[in-house]
A and B are shown apart, each in its own frame.
Chain A
Amino acid sequence: MSEATRPTRLIVEAQTKPKMPRHIKLRHDAGRDAWLLLAPERVFSPDPIAVEVLKLCDGSRSVTDMAAQLARDFQAPEETIRADILEMLQDLADKGVVKS
């Protein structure tokens, strides 16, 4: 495989449109009464904010769009939200949970 086709790390920016790959599954578990994120041989328990962010990761919304939406839904300053979710999404990308 040539260097050109080697996978690279996703750097999440304001215009990035993150989505969850097919093998990452976000679901609410009734028995545990918790949101869970199922990944290869791992289960994550995302906090409530991460759950709201992940629900918006559909590959069509940019991080800017997501911040605007969350600012409306939760009546919070858009700037702050954007900075917070950029950091969160970078962490999720590094764990292989979202891609662009």
Chain B
Amino acid sequence: MNEMSTSSHAAELEASPICANAPVGMLAELTHRCPLQCPYCSNPVELERVNTELSTQAWCRVMKEAGELGILQVHLSGGEPTARKDLEEIVKAAVDAGLYTNLITAGVLLTKERLQRLADIGLDHVQLSIQDVDAENADRIGAYKGGSAKKREVAGWVKELDLALTINAPLHRQNIHNVEKIIDYAVEAGAQRLEIAHIQYYAWALKNRAALMPTEEDFMQTARIAKAAQERLKGILVIDFVVPDYYAKYPKPCMGGWGRGIMNVTPSGRVLPCHAAESLPGLTFDNVADRALRDIWLNGEAFNLYRGTDWMKEPCKSCARKEIDFGGCRCQALALTGDAANTDPACSLSENHANWAKVAREESHKPPPDFIYRRMGAKTP
């Protein structure tokens, strides 16, 4: 049995009642509001304000269009999606559209009654983030007092309501020593799945890179621990381990390849091929208010720009791995090399890779600076 992939180029995308090469997933960022202030937040540096957010009705229409396009799973994310009072209505629209529904939440705003309502509507899966297993450290990282205790409570409700549970623990130098305990936490919480994802240094996380970057030795140790746990916990817990780009040999196929498997809708309705794509200058993004989701997927300028392999330069162009990793992340290539069509510096074939890995090694061996926390409405440092 194989994991699904949609392997095709734009030219092969033919019109049909339900698109045969539709994206597998849609990341729906319902709001950028969030009670936590994680220093590695993946949301863009410039957050979208509450008064620009799509209405309930617009989100419900997006869900319907997603189902009709052939999208299989919707990841209801943010910010913190439970900050929206109309989450129940949006989930209902997603369920009615036949989408597999995944709530990506920090959990701290949830009540048991609300989770019960969401389960009754047909929510399939909850992905609950934790900042650490050490409550004090967790609450310091997320800058939210009492968050850790609340999350344990929420994990209990998820199990009680017979919803599927993923624990998502972003890993960095300030919680990396607890990776074994994080695995235990997920088992004890009765999770089906654990995501141990080393931080990716885009957006806000880039500002805090020196405070977050682990040493290569510590990273290697977590890789060994995760591998052993995957074997030991077979049939109990699925563990997805995400490597930090800075110590990787090859880049990750960002979003499974640009315009290939995932579409991302921002709180104001802009449709992106990747949640960091707004960092690419000169790119225009369609809005769900102006254009049908299906049309955006098939014909949107932003989706076609880096779709497939025609846009590539060397060393990607002649690389045997070009349809495995698709040259990595466009946004990272731009941020660190000045050209989005360059090879992602995560790739060892990139001329920027050696220097980049050196930065990581140097930063990770210095004492960590204080976190730079983000507060909505505050000035960007």
Contact = CB atoms under 8 A, between A and B. Distances in A.
A4 interface: no
A38 B188 contact: no
B100 interface: yes
B3 A94 contact: no
B125 interface: yes
A9 B127 CA distance: 22
Interface residues of A, number: 33
Given A23-B163, A43-B73, A33 B190 contact: no
Nearest to B195: A41
Contacts of A73: none
Given A22-B162, A40-B192, A42-B3, A94 B72 contact: no
Interface stretch (B16-24, B81-89, B207-215, B242-250): B16-24
Interface string B158-175: 000011101000000000
B2 interface: yes
B188 A95 contact: no
B366 interface: no
B378 interface: no
B235 A23 contact: no
Nearest to A42: B3
Interface in A9-27: 9-10, 21-23, 25
A95 B238 contact: yes
B257 interface: no
A23 B164 contact: yes
Contacts of B264: none
Contacts of B379: none
A22 B164 CA distance: 8
Interface of A: 1, 6-10, 21-23, 25, 29-33, 36-38, 40-47, 50, 91-96
18 contacts: A8-B236, A9-B234, A9-B236, A29-B70, A29-B72, A30-B17, A31-B18, A31-B20, A32-B20, A37-B1, A40-B193, A41-B75, A41-B166, A41-B193, A42-B3, A43-B4, A43-B72, A93-B235
